[in-house]
């Protein structure tokens, strides 16, 4: 599945370990529902947010080594890659998860969420336009300039992704944050499992042809 690129293999190993740890944290979040104090919920929310922060820090280091690997992540299944936007998930996805899982938002929470959503749409469009300009530069054959643009765009997109999740959590109560983070983790794990299963089935079929 993977080529011999050292940065690809290194990040693949990190990612598999990161996903396993995410499953453990998810189990703790599920077990905690309705059982902890507000402070207990906050500690679990902080734990999951720190887990996401570690992912983006490691990804940033790997991107500086080989940005092109990050824009075509071979450790993702074919299905997972259909969700990619500038080497990660589209910034609007957390809002969809929020809408489906947290239904007891106050008027003030809704107001702040709507403001954040509008700001996100503007920033997402800006980043899409910036990436389009970088990709157009392929015709100039200035490879290092292109790579530099991709690094900047990819890191900016990751900052946007992490900022959105962090700000949503800040708007929500600790208990609401647990529901949101549980739903987000479950969706990620489900998509990955489905993607790996589809690829394995496709490879088995091709192997028999």
Q: pLDDT by residue (tens digit) across 11-61?
A: 889 999 999 999 999 999 999 888 888 999 999 999 999 999 999 999 988
pLDDT on residue 74: 81
pLDDT at 6 over 70: no
171 in Cβ contact with 112 (< 8 Å): yes
pLDDT at residue 9, rounded to an integer? 80
pLDDT band with cut points at 50, 70 and 90 for residue 3: very low
Q: What is the DSSP letter of 41?
A: H
- 168, burial (CB in 10 Å: exposed 0-12, middle 13-18, buried 19+): buried
Q: What's 66's DSSP letter?
A: -
Q: How far is CA 86 from CA 28, 91, 149, in A?
A: 31, 10, 12
CA 187-34-99 angle, 5° bins? 40
The predicted-structure confidence for 147-204, as pLDDT tens digits, reads as follows 666 677 778 889 999 999 999 999 999 999 999 999 999 999 999 999 999 999 887 7
DSSP SS3 for 85: coil
pLDDT tens column, 78-87: 999 888 888 8
Model confidence at 208, in pLDDT bands (50, 70, 90)? Answer: low
- pTM listed for this prediction: 0.87
pLDDT attached to residue 112: 98
> Does position 141 have pLDDT exceeding 60, yes or no?
no
pLDDT tens profile 81-126: 888 888 888 999 999 999 999 999 999 999 999 999 999 999 999 9
* Structure tokens, 31: 């077990």
pLDDT confidence of residue 2? 43
Whether 71 and 147 have beta carbons less than 8 Å apart is answered as no
């Amino acid at each position: 599945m993977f080529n011999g690129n050292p940065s690809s293999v290194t990040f693949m190993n990190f990612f598999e370990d990161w996903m396993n740890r995410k499953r453990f944290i998810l189990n703790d979040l599920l077990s905690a529902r309705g059982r902890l104090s507000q402070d207990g919920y906050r500690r679990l929310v902080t734990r999951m947010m720190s887990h996401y922060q570690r992912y983006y820090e490691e990804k940033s280091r790997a991107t500086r080594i080989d940005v092109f690997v990050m824009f075509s992540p071979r450790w993702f299944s074919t299905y997972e890659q259909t969700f990619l936007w500038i080497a990660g998930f589209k910034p609007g996805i957390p809002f969809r998860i929020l809408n489906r899982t947290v239904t007891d938002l106050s008027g003030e929470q809704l107001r702040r969420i709507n403001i954040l959503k509008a700001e996100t749409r503007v920033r997402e469009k800006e980043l899409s336009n910036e990436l389009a300009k970088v990709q157009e530069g392929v015709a100039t054959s200035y490879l290092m300039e292109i790579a530099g643009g991709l690094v900047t765009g990819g890191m900016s997109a990751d900052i946007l992704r992490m900022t959105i999740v962090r700000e949503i959590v800040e708007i929500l109560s600790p208990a609401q944050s647990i529901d949101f983070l549980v739903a987000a983790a479950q969706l990620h794990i489900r998509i990955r499992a489905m993607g790996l299963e589809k690829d394995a089935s496709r490879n088995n079929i091709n192997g028999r042809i």
